[in-house]
Homo-oligomer: A and B are copies of this chain.
């Protein structure tokens, strides 16, 4: 039973850029399309917004359906409305960007009869639609956010050594950082808690583990906070 409207309406979708971090690279989650257009091409997970769900809900639902990821950091990115982004008809998409830590959310390959996989952002295949542009926008946003908000922790496990945090900053910002200065700076922010635990099963001297203390952060966040590293 079709629905009719006095004026033509663009279709509305959500697309999600999910970032994760492994030993070497910043990764992004892609889905292999099984339908036309762009069948066989890799694309961002996403789909149509239902009329009875919010945009955030749509993004979380699609993400779960297509990749199995739930309960992750998710934030609206930008809305893309170019006229021919989809060859079939006018489609406006609200893009989201999400951060997960690989430990907690191991790749849940094919769900929903699709193939899902992590790709290094430095070595991507051709993408469907304007998804390359969306991804570039997400990367800019990630780099920007890292500077003034403590989102990086979303990419790490709950407990992490300072090395991992520095590595995160180095990978995302794409430059090397001085270890001493980095530690001084991060610790002086006083938003990390040193745990009574050290790394295990590590080939050499084990590092202390830390966790991000959101309560501490919230207390000092009045008037902004500078994560410039």
Contacts and interface: CB of A to CB of B under 8 A. Distances in A.
A5 B9 CA distance: 9
Contacts of A208: none
Interface in A40-92: 48-56, 76, 78-79, 81-83, 90, 92
A9 B3 CA distance: 8
Given A49-B81, A54-B83, A3 B8 contact: yes
A83 B76 CA distance: 16
Given A76-B78, A81-B55, A10 B12 contact: yes
Give the dominant DSSP class at A's interface. Answer: loop
Given A3-B7, A12-B12, A55 B83 contact: no
Copies in the complex: 2
B5 A52 contact: no
A104 interface: no
B79 A8 contact: no
B76 A94 contact: no
A26 to B, nearest CB: 19
A202 B164 CA distance: 60
A181 interface: no
Contacts of A79: 55, 76, 79, 94
Given A3-B7, A4-B5, 12 more contacts: A2-B4, A2-B6, A4-B4, A5-B9, A9-B10, A9-B11, A9-B12, A49-B81, A76-B79, A79-B79, A79-B94, A92-B94
